[in-house]
Structure 1
Amino acid sequence: MASRFGPGDVRFFDRLARLYDLAMPPARVRPLRDGFAFADRPIERVLDLAGGTGRASHGFRGVGFDPVVVDISAGMLARARDAGHEVVRGDVGRLPVAEDAVDAAVVVDALHHLPDPEAGLREAARVITPGGVLVVQEFHPRTLLGSALVAGERAIGFDSTFWTPEELCAALSDAGFESRIVREGFEYVVVGRVPRK
């Protein structure tokens, strides 16, 4: 079933952009930073993929990173730009970023919205330099809260793809990463490291 809001639910997020940060709690960056510890290189250049209003990027400013926010929604990116973030409008499945251009990337509560999440993971592997990491925070669909979230997104009309932490680790491995679970629970975190050649 295709989303009634278009690929990546972009029309929904364009309409919600002004209210998004009021409705969503701030992103907790500590579990994401814990994923950076698996990098085999210094982390300086970071992308916030499907980063919307820059909710996660804003949290990273307090710990010394200022990721570039990449998103397909013009409305969400306008909010990120207004908050002072560098932004790039683009489809995560076809990133307008050069190969080996960044040290790390994060995807916070957004991978499930991508129309082709596997393509997004492959693109992340392409743009992250060897030794760098992709840190993904997602919702566990087999927890009580997760199953309610899945049902809610279906009722709204989203065509979201949810994985268990183990399934997402397998998808990261298929995309060329060395993967592991960093944090379990309803909001879990996994990390993939690009192997050195």
Structure 2
Amino acid sequence: MYGLGDVRFFDRIAPLYDRVMPPADGEALAAGLAHATRSIDRLLDVGGGSGRAAAALTGPEITVVDASLGMLARAREHRGLSGVAGDAGRLPFRDGSVDAATIVDAFHHLPDQAAAVGEAARVLAPGGALVIREFDPTHPLGRALVAGEHAIGMESRFRAPDDLAAALADAGFDPRVVDRGFGYTVVGVRE
């Protein structure tokens, strides 16, 4: 799911991750999920790591999918979440089997972003929503984050909100930019 160096990094920092990262923005995620045109009973938190984003949501059955076994262990042991080791570019779920998917603060780590979007489209049922919460590389804080991640050897590839929305449209989603700023939210509804 991540570049190899990124997975190793997250495996190493897993015990500290939740202590240094702020909680996920549950309001922004809920605003994105509200665009779904179907009931959300089953949600995948792709690249969900320790379950930080899943912890900000209530309601659906949530499965965390991540390539870092250390982060998944945190999601299972400390949050009681269901976790599946997997690659965002090859999700181990049936076609149309979930109602929503989130990718929170992780899309920039995915080595094959187009494959991840395509897989989300495949596993989502019609009317389901893919909500991506990311960092804008054109924002001053985003530029600093890009430089910092590259300085420590991460293979991060950040995208601006409109560019990400266009990628969702290319994959057959009906995209919307829900909010903008250093952290932004884009949602795509599967037609």
Name the TM-score class by shorter chain: over 0.9
2:60 aligned with 1:58, yes or no? Answer: no
CA drift of 1:65 comes to 3.1
Counterpart residue identity of residue 90, structure 2: R
Secondary structure at the counterpart of residue 67 of structure 1: strand
Counterpart residue identity of residue 124, structure 1: A
Identical positions, percent: 57
Counterpart residue identity of residue 55, structure 1: R
Unpaired segments ≥5 residues, structure 2: none
2:66 aligned with 1:80, yes or no? Answer: no
2:11 aligned with 1:17, yes or no? Answer: no
CA drift of 1:66 comes to 4.1
Unpaired segments ≥5 residues, structure 1: none
* Counterparts of residues 158-177 of structure 1 (less than 5 Å): 158-177=154-173
2:174 aligned with 1:178, yes or no? Answer: yes
Change in CA separation of 1:168 and 1:112 when aligned onto 2, cut-off 3 Å? same
Distance 2:67 2:54 in 1: 16
Distance 2:14 2:29 in 1: 24
Q: 1:187 aligns with which of 164, 183, 189?
A: 183
Distance 1:96 1:8 in 2: 23
CA drift of 1:40 comes to 1.0
Q: Runs of 4 or more off by more than 4 Å in structure 1?
A: none
Partner of 1:89: 85
Distance 2:167 2:177 in 1: 12
Aligned residues: 189
Q: TM-score normalized by structure 1?
A: 0.93
Distance 1:115 1:7 in 2: 9
Does structure 2 retain, via aligned residues, the 8 Å contact 1:178–1:193? Answer: yes
Change in CA separation of 1:8 and 1:107 when aligned onto 2, cut-off 3 Å? farther
Q: 2:62 aligns with which of 47, 63, 67?
A: 67
Change in CA separation of 1:81 and 1:96 when aligned onto 2, cut-off 3 Å? same
Does structure 2 retain, via aligned residues, the 8 Å contact 1:47–1:70? Answer: yes
Output the aligned Cα RMSD.
Answer: 1.2
